[in-house]
Amino acid sequence: MIVAFSVTPLGVGEDVGEYVADAVRVVRESGLPNRTDAMFTSVEGEWDEVMDVVRRAVAAVERRAPRVSLVLKADIRPGVTDGLTSKVETVERHLAP
């Protein structure tokens, strides 16, 4: 499964980069395949391990922020691996001249 999620601290002002970095650090240290862009962090793995990473990423932000917003989208396809790469490669193949 692939989960794309965004963790946003609320009540800490406009500059939230350091809080978001706490969440991204948890994801990167998990060892699961992941990718971060301007809006979301995506992580790939089995249900329990991915949801544990999301839970720990939220907890990392929650330790320093009075309120946390979580947006999550999941692609649940048992048996599919390397979806983070293969999905993008498929789109790029269709874009190629």
Over residues 28-48, the pLDDT tens digits come to 999 999 999 999 999 999 999
What span, in angstroms and rounded, lies between the C-alpha atoms of 49 and 28? 13
> Which token pair is 26?
């948890």
Helical (H) or strand (E) element with 32: none
pLDDT band at 82 (very low <50, low <70, confident <90, very high): confident
Model pTM? 0.89
For all residues of the chain together, what is the average pLDDT?
A: 94
pLDDT band at 80 (very low <50, low <70, confident <90, very high): confident
> Which token pair is 75?
């692609």
Q: Which fold has domain 2-95?
A: Alpha-Beta Plaits (3.30.70)
The CA-based angle 17-20-26, given to 5 degrees, is: 140
Distance of CA 3 to the CA centre of its chain: 6
